[in-house]
Amino acid sequence: MFDAARPITLKLQTPDGPKAVSVRFPSDEEWTERQRARKIVTRSLGRGMSKSDVPNHEEIDAALVAKIKTDGPEIDCYEAMTIVGVLSRCDVTDVEREDGGYRVRMTVPGGETSVLLRMPTAREIYAFRREYVSAVELPHGKSSTSVNLEAAARLFDALAGESTGYAGPVPIIHKEAALVAMIAEFESGLGVSDDNLF
Number of alpha carbons in the 13 Å side-chain half-sphere of residue 3: 6
pLDDT of residue 34: 94
- For residue 155, what is the DSSP state? H
Coil/strand/helix, residue 9: strand
- Between CA 28 and CA 178, with CA 162 as vertex, the angle to 5 degrees is 50
Cβ atoms 68, 30 nearer than 8 A: yes
Tens-of-pLDDT digits for all 198 residues of the chain? Answer: 999 999 999 999 999 889 999 999 999 999 999 999 988 778 877 777 777 777 788 999 999 999 999 999 999 999 999 999 999 999 999 999 998 899 999 999 989 999 999 999 999 999 999 999 887 777 777 777 788 999 999 999 999 999 999 999 999 999 999 999 999 998 886 544 455 544
Distance CA 184, CA 198 (A): 26
* Residue 194: predicted pLDDT: 53
pLDDT at site 168: 93
* Whether this model's pTM surpasses 0.95: no
pLDDT for 193? 47
Which pLDDT value is given to residue 145?
79
CA 7-9-14 angle, 5° bins: 160
